Amino acid sequence: MELLDPIITLLPTLKTVLLAIIPLGFLIFIHELGHFFAAKKSGIKVNTFSLGFGPKLIGFEYGETEYRISLLPFGGYVQMEGENPNEQTGARGEFGSASLGSRAFVVIAGPAVNLFFGVFAYWLVFQFGLNDYSATFIERLIGLHIGSEKEAVQLGTVAPDGPGARGGLKSGDVITSINGASVENWTAFHTRIYTSPGQELDVAVERNGTAQTFTVVPEGIRGARGDSGILQVSSSSKVIVTEVAEGSLAEKVGIQIGDRVETINGQKIYNVPRFDSQIWDPEADWISTHHQALYRTIQRHPDELHLGIRRDGTAMVVKVPVQWELTAAVPPDAKASGVRTGDTLLSLNGKAVENAMLSAQLWGVDGRLELGLLREGEKHTVALSPGAIASAETSEITGTPYGFGWNATLSGISFGVPSRDLPTYSLFTAFGKSLEASWLTVESIGKTLRQLISQEVSPKFLTGPIGIANATSRMFELGLGSALFFIGFISINLSIVNLLPIPIADGGHLLFFAVEKVRGRPLSLKKQAIVQHVSVVLMIALFLYITWFDGLSLIHELRN
């Protein structure tokens, strides 16, 4: 078994690599498959059709084509007779000898297959793979809202001393445009800020029914791709009561599951309040600092909490005494510690947990720790040592050196976001939705291309094969529906990018054909070869440029 340990250890990494690379290889393969079938249909000789790249492993000849499996099974390629201008002789069956319409058909078939597959993948998601996670992912990726009515791009938490606040932005502002370009979804807003470090941006908002414009300058944060911009603002979300503990103070005053929480002690709430142990990390980010401030606001009035709620369209203020309860949250892969998820914390090192000492007791306890717990009505005592029962991974996840964290409920109330009212689509309505999503995807790609051409966005923010593979692998963590939608999104991207009028791309060939149609004759083989060689050099340079930043980002991510 010891000999197998290194292999077993590598299995999760191998799985991640395969989940990352195989989908991208499949998209390249079906692209080439489109060229292959179109060439066969047009009477163009296909010398080689390969599944994979690199040296041939096995192969056979059928008709005039060699079918092979190559060493690197990610993607594939088609090699047609006379495809390269230097190899054209004018013989029958060559790509260059085919009619203009046939050549255009062969060229456009690859991008068309990628486009059709993207629509098909979207259709599968809307028909079979839709859930809260995939619906949220779709909305944030392309701005297609699913379920309840579409919500505005509204700011939630705004760091008091952050660049957004310094520019005049406030919680509750609805973003309408940046530099005159409309903002349809949160992803578009985030991308614009992320790619504009140190630039002055005119942000138009709607505040209390009044249109206003503020000039903000995203702060540049040094990363693998150089500086990226942040404003230290978050998106808003509705907050509801997701759980009311039986016999709790909240239940006694009539608070119900599903009540929408609008204010806490008169303070407007734009995001779900968090009081778990991670917000007390000494290196907590600005959002955690916001939650800490809300906790301290509640602690300034420990006798009574004023909760502004809305129920069935009626607004009311409910008063409830403040009472904290801490329950353990133990990750499934954490080592045994004697603490179970749901255990209620009664004491730390023999001292009762008091409301006013919550923050200090949640964090910063060093050395041996003795917990007094309540479990299913019975009291238990558990002794712990930091690091003895926790791995580095679980400590990072829970924010404590003991491998588990604490969730705090306020007077028996748990807060969360409302679940989506997801629609059920028929075969036909799901297909219609996939077409709508595909159009929004094309619009998103077009917007990015315009920003690149106008130099509003640097090409260093583009993502190449490494970045796409890494992102695809992460999509599987969100579920199969989200992963399939993302693969469809990449497929449509490949289709559009390949149709750009770049000489080495399919769109470049179509450009040559258009010139040939206008001139009545093609460019000379020598000129075609020169253009292709120059294009290859430029494309390789761009590929290396993008891959360089992809690699730096991956290394940065692994180190952190």
Domains defined for the chain, CATH in brackets: 240-416 (2.30.42.10)
CA distance 521 to 519: 5
Q: Are 112 and 495 in contact (CB under 8 A)?
A: yes
List the chain pLDDT tens, one digit each, 560 residues: 444 444 444 445 555 566 667 787 788 888 889 999 999 999 889 888 888 778 888 888 888 888 888 877 666 788 888 777 667 677 788 887 888 889 899 999 999 999 999 999 999 999 988 888 888 888 877 878 787 666 778 999 999 999 999 999 999 999 999 998 888 888 788 888 888 888 899 999 999 989 999 999 999 876 555 677 889 999 898 999 999 988 889 999 999 999 999 999 999 999 999 887 778 777 778 888 898 889 888 888 878 889 999 999 899 999 999 888 888 877 776 655 678 888 888 887 787 776 544 544 455 455 667 888 888 888 888 887 655 444 444 444 344 555 677 778 888 899 998 887 888 899 999 999 999 999 988 888 887 777 767 766 666 555 655 455 556 566 667 788 888 888 898 899 888 888 888 766 788 878 888 888 888 777 666 666 666 656 655 555 555 545 444 444 444 444 44
> Angle 5-41/100-128 helices, nearest 10 degrees?
130
Q: Are 322 and 303 in contact (CB under 8 A)?
A: yes
CA distance 416 to 260: 10
- How many CB atoms within 10 Å of residue 62? 8
Enter the tokens of residue 205: 């908002």
What distance lies between CA 299 and its chain's CA centroid? 36
DSSP-assigned states of every residue in 15-31: HHHHHHHHHHHHHHHHH
CA distance 272 to 276: 12
- How many CB atoms within 10 Å of residue 512? 22
First vs last Cα of the chain: how many Å apart?
A: 32
Q: Which amino acid is at 112?
A: A
CA distance 4 to 41: 51
Enter the tokens of residue 87: 């190899």
Enter the tokens of residue 89: 């002789």
Strand ranges for 81-166 from DSSP E: 155-158
> CB neighbours of 304 closer than 8 A, spacing ≥ 6?
319, 320, 321, 322
Strand ranges for 189-313 from DSSP E: 201-207, 210-216, 219-223, 226-230, 233-235, 240-244, 260-264, 267-268, 305-311
CA distance 138 to 125: 10
